[in-house]
Structure 1
Amino acid sequence: MKRAHRPAPTPGASGAPAGSPGLKGFILLAVLIGLGLLASRGWLRAYSYWHDELFSIGAASADSWADLFQAWILPDTHPPLHLVLLKLWIGLFGSGEIPARLLSLIPTWLSLIAIAVATRRGGFTRQLIAVLFVGTSPLFSLYSQEVRPYGWALLFATTSVATMTLLWRSQLQGGAISTPQRRRLRLGFALSLLLLSLTHYFGLMYAVTLIALDLRAGAPCLGRRRHGLLLLLSLAVWPLLHGLLGSGGGRAGWIQSEPVISVIKAAFNAVFPAFSVALALIAGLSLALMARQQRQERPASLQQALRQEPNAAEAVQLLVGMAVFVGLICLIDLVKPLSVERYFIVLLPALALALADAGQALVNVGSRQARHATVLVLVVVLSMHLWHAQEVLAAKIHPQENYKQLAGFLRSTDLCHSGCSSVSAKQNRLRPYFDAIKMIRIDLDQPDSLATARLPFVGLHGEQKLIRPLLASHPQASCWEPRQSSPSSTFVVLDPDPGVRPRSFGLRTCDRQKGAA
């Protein structure tokens, strides 16, 4: 019997060749699990906290809630949500590295799930691109295991932007979403913005940006303009209290940047490290496609088709929101420098969805060559992001700064039984490693403070510059550091005959000492 001819699968509403929903579900599940495992690599090794994480642990270990707010949150640069959650978490599970970092892994895992759920009806191509772009981002991998607020900022930025796109699509689809569902989405959108504003001040500014854009469009996501105005007033409550009672971000003096240019560079480096490569690929492939169309004497209709494609319109809306936010940061940066790459993590979900929309649009209306070019660009970009993400994660889990090993050496040898000199002798900032080690703070403003400092001298974050002056003042002394990816970020300067063999504890001579030699 002659076999009936079946035409090749064509892109449908999903934007991908018709296939088994079960197969697509399996692929998506495998991608989610794979990205989650990659971001969790090294988590169970309980590697050392570094300086910024120790701030969070010290704050969450405060003796009382009053102490947490008065001594930590009010003088800090960030809103209170993360430290409040961390204090509750540590009270239940302790301050060990594994449980504390789990509190950051959970929201980043949930971010992947949230973006997968939000895009499940927009086409499998769109869903896959969005999940992969977030999950391969260096920011995603790095802050999945950082005891800081960035994992939570990513989660609430994801739920905010994803809910916004669902509400946009519900308008286009008419009665596709029932009134109770729309109300729940609007409530979720408002709640996500509020939580985002309480997680990080970049989150607050991004929330204000999204509300302003929604109000300008007639409040399709908030329902009514007065709801947006009430939400803006709610977002302003904590910053006003912080400004009146605390520093209101006064600890940002360490940030140095060039106006405008550094903000734009920081944003691109954070959320799209491979942008220059992607731009070059797109330009080259576009020229090749245009030349091919001219040889075939076919008019270029892709641009016209994209103008009528809903996914392309949504991508433009998302990119406009990002551009407005970056512009706002540029203006603020002229007065007070704020731009740090990690702060732009709030833009990662919007960019992922915008690129996913663009990819879906090209798959829907583009030629076979355009689809192949889209796949090529995505494979290159995602591969570069994943490679870089694993590099930065490997440096972190090496670990970045090995407070833990250095403290273990000092405890095991009891070298600090009479006290060790240090510039960083704030015990509450050194939990859980150095709080049981006697540290004597020295004042660098005093003349000959390093020459008269008693050894051992313990150096911590940012004190590498003291190694050479210490060794010059104590010619017979030696400098030792633990295994860490940031050279000499933690170290100890020992007497000529300390009575112990540092190498037997896994320490090595300081890189700065090698350089001096």
Structure 2
Amino acid sequence: MTPLAPPRPRGLGGEGAAILVLGCLIALAAILRFWNIGGQSLWLDELWTAAQSDPGLAFGQWLEEWILGDVHPPLYIYLMRQWQQFFGAGEISLRLPSVLFSLGFIGTAALIPGWTSSPFRRWLLAGWFACTPAAVIYAQEARVYALLLMLSAAAVLLSVAIARRIEAGQPILRPCLALSAVILVAEYSHYFGALVGFGCFAALTGFAVIRDRSRLGTILVSGSMALLLFLPWLIFHAAHITDQLSGSFWITNNWERSLSQAARLAVGLPLLCAVMAAAIMLAFAARPGRLCRADGFVPVVALALMLGGALLISLHTPVITDRNLLILLPPFFLLAVTLIDRLRMVLPGGLRFLAVVVGIAVPVIGLGASAQRLSAEVKDQWREAAAQVTGLPGCGQAILPVYRWPEEFYAYYLPPADRPHLNSVTLEQGAFGLATAWMPLVSIGTCPLLIWAGHVGGDALTGEVAQALGIPRDRIVVARTKGHMLLLDHRDLERASGS
């Protein structure tokens, strides 16, 4: 029977202090997730979540209008729909589930049994999970990525635990069923969850082929369950988003930028992430036998297959973004933490201490990068833009034309009395010239507002609006907030303000 862990060296006096430091870092990172969580307005993607998860919509209407045409599976939005029904649609309320998922992401390192027998390694991985900017930043956004990170970490750690049980000759049925359930939830939450499942079950299959082929049946059946229970939805949904899978997608593949941004989200500094990756590869090159162990083989193969699967999909449909690549973070962190812990156990005194310092320095850097980004980042200012709109003189009962996005997005920050006046417009020309949707804009009384263009920037739109309305470009005034343009007629603005 293969031992689950190498013998521990003597004289680990610094381990307790290191765990105490890691515990403090985890506590600080948990607090940081709540810091100023409602300070900035929801931005475009979060407003999409708010509108998609409106519990006031009948189930059929919700499915038809918001789910079938979206490129994401429905589970996260369904969970948010239930959440909103009980806890409301306020900014903090909508973001709170992401905080909880992000705390669960930390908890996977501590609570999933069997992936390691080293308490230090558990604390070290929990510290890295706690302080990575990816987890801290997406903990404050009403989006699916905190949930995806938690499920990806749970899947990878369960896979390593299963592989260790194979090494030890122990039963694997229950953890395999648990892994199948985690993957199924991940698949219905985000389509990259299917890549996580593919990577984990393929890695376990390969490990069983190497170590114990009698376990192949359990692994293949469990993996097939996760796929077959997801396949009906995949086939059904694909028929509704065919036009978005033809290669013309809103994402533009930019691997260099996406990998750089993903590295920044992982540890705060792309160079540090590159050094860690190089150190991992050198360690396996020096000791290739480590690849035959559970904590080496499973995360390496899973990471490679996830990345390779994303690359293959991107050849047909652009899907590569830094946030989608976050599924690579759990296996990457696991490999790095394993390397640091092994160095700590085999190196002599001074170098052993240096390994511990490096292990703690990474989450310290990540925590600092997280705090800096949260304090400096400015989201789309939908709240501020709405305040400008409602503060314009003479616009109390005027038509409020909005451009490009659903009216529900603009309505979120408007007073209830103003919401019925929203009117979606386009720049399309009708059979008799100007589209009828634009006709009321020509004479809107003393209200200077022509159009509120949420999450849109650039002078091209201003010129198009001026041309469509038949007024000179220099009579258009643009009031900007981040991600927004409030297009105003200069004459009406002067008359309304009395200047």
What's the TM-score bracket when you normalise by the shorter of the two chains?
0.7 to 0.9
Match of 1:40 in 2: 34
Per-residue CA distance 1:65-90 (angstroms, 9 max, x = gap): 11111111110010000110011011
Q: CA RMSD in A?
A: 3.8
Give the direction of change, closer, same or farther, for the CA distance of 1:384–1:224 in structure 2 (3 Å limit).
closer
Match of 2:478 in 1: 479
Decide whether the 8 Å contact of 2:245 with 2:317 is kept in 1.
no
Q: CA–CA distance in 2 between the matches of 1:415 and 1:167?
A: 64
Q: CA–CA distance in 2 between the matches of 1:118 and 1:15?
A: 27
**Aligned partner of 2:93 among 94, 99, 102:** 99
Whether 1:108 and 2:108 are equivalent positions in the alignment is no
**Aligned partner of 1:408 among 381, 387, 395:** 387
Match of 1:314 in 2: 295
Match of 1:497 in 2: 494
**Aligned partner of 1:146 among 114, 137, 141:** 141
Match of 1:243 in 2: 238
Q: CA–CA distance in 1 between the matches of 2:297 and 2:159?
A: 14
Q: CA–CA distance in 2 between the matches of 1:16 and 1:165?
A: 28
Match of 1:255 in 2: 251
Decide whether the 8 Å contact of 1:306 with 1:362 is kept in 2.
no
Give the direction of change, closer, same or farther, for the CA distance of 1:278–1:28 in structure 2 (3 Å limit).
closer
Decide whether the 8 Å contact of 2:407 with 2:423 is kept in 1.
no
Give the direction of change, closer, same or farther, for the CA distance of 1:158–1:165 in structure 2 (3 Å limit).
same
Matches within 5 A, 1:131-210: 131-174=126-169, 182-210=172-200
Decide whether the 8 Å contact of 2:99 with 2:139 is kept in 1.
yes
Give the direction of change, closer, same or farther, for the CA distance of 1:383–1:68 in structure 2 (3 Å limit).
same
Report the Cα offset of residue 269 of structure 1: 5.0
Tell me whether 358-367 or 11-20 shows the greater mean CA deviation. 11-20
Report the Cα offset of residue 34 of structure 1: 1.2
Report the TM-score when normalising by structure 2.
0.80
Number of positions where the alignment pairs a residue of Structure 1 with one of Structure 2: 462
Match of 1:90 in 2: 84
Residue 33 of structure 1 aligns to a residue whose secondary structure is helix
Q: CA–CA distance in 2 between the matches of 1:424 and 1:223?
A: 50
Give the direction of change, closer, same or farther, for the CA distance of 1:316–1:410 in structure 2 (3 Å limit).
same
Structure 2: 5+ residue stretches without partners? 1-5, 443-447
Report the Cα offset of residue 146 of structure 1: 1.1
Match of 1:341 in 2: 322
Report the TM-score when normalising by structure 1.
0.77
Q: CA–CA distance in 1 between the matches of 2:10 and 2:422?
A: 63
Write the letter of the residue equivalent to 2:424: R
Q: Percent identity?
A: 19
Decide whether the 8 Å contact of 1:425 with 1:439 is kept in 2.
no
Report the Cα offset of residue 226 of structure 1: 2.8
Q: CA–CA distance in 1 between the matches of 2:175 and 2:278?
A: 39
**Aligned partner of 1:75 among 66, 69, 80:** 69
Q: CA–CA distance in 2 between the matches of 1:139 and 1:41?
A: 16
Matches within 5 A, 1:314-393: 314-368=295-349, 370-375=351-356, 377-378=358-359, 381-393=362-374
Whether 1:440 and 2:419 are equivalent positions in the alignment is no
Per-residue CA distance 1:54-113 (angstroms, 9 max, x = gap): 111111115111111111111001000011001101111111001111011111111101
Write the letter of the residue equivalent to 1:76: D
Matches within 5 A, 1:417-456: 417-424=397-404, 426-434=406-414, 436-437=418-419, 438-446=421-429, 454=442, 455-456=448-449
**Greater length-normalized contact order (CA 8 Å, ≥ 6 residues apart):** 1
Write the letter of the residue equivalent to 1:194: L
Decide whether the 8 Å contact of 2:176 with 2:219 is kept in 1.
no
Decide whether the 8 Å contact of 1:263 with 1:339 is kept in 2.
yes
Residue 335 of structure 1 aligns to a residue whose secondary structure is coil
Give the direction of change, closer, same or farther, for the CA distance of 1:212–1:277 in structure 2 (3 Å limit).
closer
Q: CA–CA distance in 1 between the matches of 2:10 and 2:328?
A: 25
Match of 1:227 in 2: 222
Report the Cα offset of residue 32 of structure 1: 2.5
Q: CA–CA distance in 2 between the matches of 1:221 and 1:493?
A: 67
Give the direction of change, closer, same or farther, for the CA distance of 1:161–1:304 in structure 2 (3 Å limit).
closer
Q: CA–CA distance in 1 between the matches of 2:117 and 2:252?
A: 41
Decide whether the 8 Å contact of 1:424 with 1:460 is kept in 2.
yes
Decide whether the 8 Å contact of 2:158 with 2:175 is kept in 1.
yes
Write the letter of the residue equivalent to 1:257: N
Decide whether the 8 Å contact of 2:96 with 2:140 is kept in 1.
yes
Decide whether the 8 Å contact of 1:257 with 1:339 is kept in 2.
yes
Residue 326 of structure 1 aligns to a residue whose secondary structure is helix
Match of 1:129 in 2: 124
Decide whether the 8 Å contact of 1:111 with 1:154 is kept in 2.
yes
Match of 1:511 in 2: none
Write the letter of the residue equivalent to 1:132: G
Write the letter of the residue equivalent to 2:177: L
Per-residue CA distance 1:253-296 (angstroms, 9 max, x = gap): 111125x6667556545545534335558989x99xxxxxxxxx
Residue 323 of structure 2 aligns to a residue whose secondary structure is helix
Report the Cα offset of residue 242 of structure 1: 0.7
Report the Cα offset of residue 492 of structure 1: 4.9
Write the letter of the residue equivalent to 1:473: P
Report the Cα offset of residue 198 of structure 1: 0.7
Write the letter of the residue equivalent to 1:83: I
Decide whether the 8 Å contact of 1:39 with 1:141 is kept in 2.
yes
Give the direction of change, closer, same or farther, for the CA distance of 1:93–1:263 in structure 2 (3 Å limit).
closer
Decide whether the 8 Å contact of 2:152 with 2:330 is kept in 1.
yes
